[in-house]
Amino acid sequence: MALFLSSISQGLLWSIMAIGVYITFRVLNVADLTTEGSFPLGAAISTSLIVNGIAPWLSVLIALLGGMAAGFISGFLYTKWKIPALLAGIITMTGLYSINLRVMGQANISLLGQETLIRTVESFGLSKTNAVLLVGSIAVGIVIILLHLFFHTEVGLAIRSTGDNNEMSEANGIRTNFMKVIGYMLSNGMIATSGALLAQNNGYADISMGIGTIVIGLASIIIGEVFFRNISIAKRLLTVVLGSVIYRLLILIVLEMNVDPQDLKLFSAILLALALRLPAIQERLTKRNKKATVSTEKGGLS
């Protein structure tokens, strides 16, 4: 039971990163690899500030701003310099590796003995798992509420319109390039926030902790979409959270099967491939059922 709750709490913190990936992947309809640089950037900023005496909650907000800055760079390269989205993300991700090292001053930083959000909540008598559950639930709740409100503003609707139909949005006077940059900033801000929270939960930040985050984010999105489709933006974000939690539970099941931890990245890649294949399988089954229904009706009429 403890491992089950721990996986759920981890899933909540990871879901904020998945929500960030969702903004570019689904709302803007572009693939952004900045994720693997902005995630450790958030962790690097937060841990470095905490070690230097900054309040943990404030370090998360500053990490958010750092992630938004990274998103601005990728968005600028994509919209103004006309560099393809994938390449723009790779360029920013590569540059962030050196920036993250500069921020931390070394390959990793330990938060041993430092005050973090998790330890602050633990001081009220909660276990670590329950503390992470509480912090994760509050953080996810705030993110979903704020994004729900934002995406119903004029700017938020313009961003959604840009992702749905770029040409039509331009024809209606929407500054689509500007909206894309805002989307990039929002996305990577969420991703860096998740990195900051997970670093405080894990008790350290490492230069390589961003490897594979894009796969985790995409898997969470696709898994959530398998269960729910054609729903409002707030409910879509909730499905991403659900997908993230399910993903962590699947990881737990794999570990319980005594799979070598070094094979987890391979499992993540296979899981993502299967999740991406599921919609096509569902569509094929739906068409087959419709054909069977039509054939049955024709047989009945004859």
pLDDT of residue 225: 84
Judge whether 49 and 218 are in contact, CB under 8 Å: no
Rounded to 10 deg, the angle between the 213-227 and 233-256 helix axes is 110
The per-residue pLDDT for range 218-260, each reduced to its tens digit, is 989 988 887 777 788 889 999 999 999 999 998 888 888 887 8
pLDDT of residue 124: 94
Any idea where the domains of the chain sit in the sequence? 4-301
CATH classification of 4-301, choosing from 3.40.50, 1.10.1760, 1.10.3470, 2.60.40?
Answer: 1.10.3470
Rounded Cα–Cα distance for residues 207 and 218 (Å) = 21
Indicate the DSSP class of residue 263: G
Residue 197 has pLDDT above 70, yes or no: yes
What is the average per-residue pLDDT within 120-129? Answer: 95
pTM over 0.85: yes
What is the average per-residue pLDDT within 124-137? Answer: 95
Neighbours of 275 (CB within 10 A): 20
Judge whether 34 and 213 are in contact, CB under 8 Å: no
pLDDT of residue 301: 56
pLDDT of residue 300: 60
pLDDT of residue 283: 77
Alpha-carbon dihedral sign for residues 47, 48, 53, 58: negative
Residue 295 has pLDDT above 80, yes or no: no
pLDDT of residue 298: 63
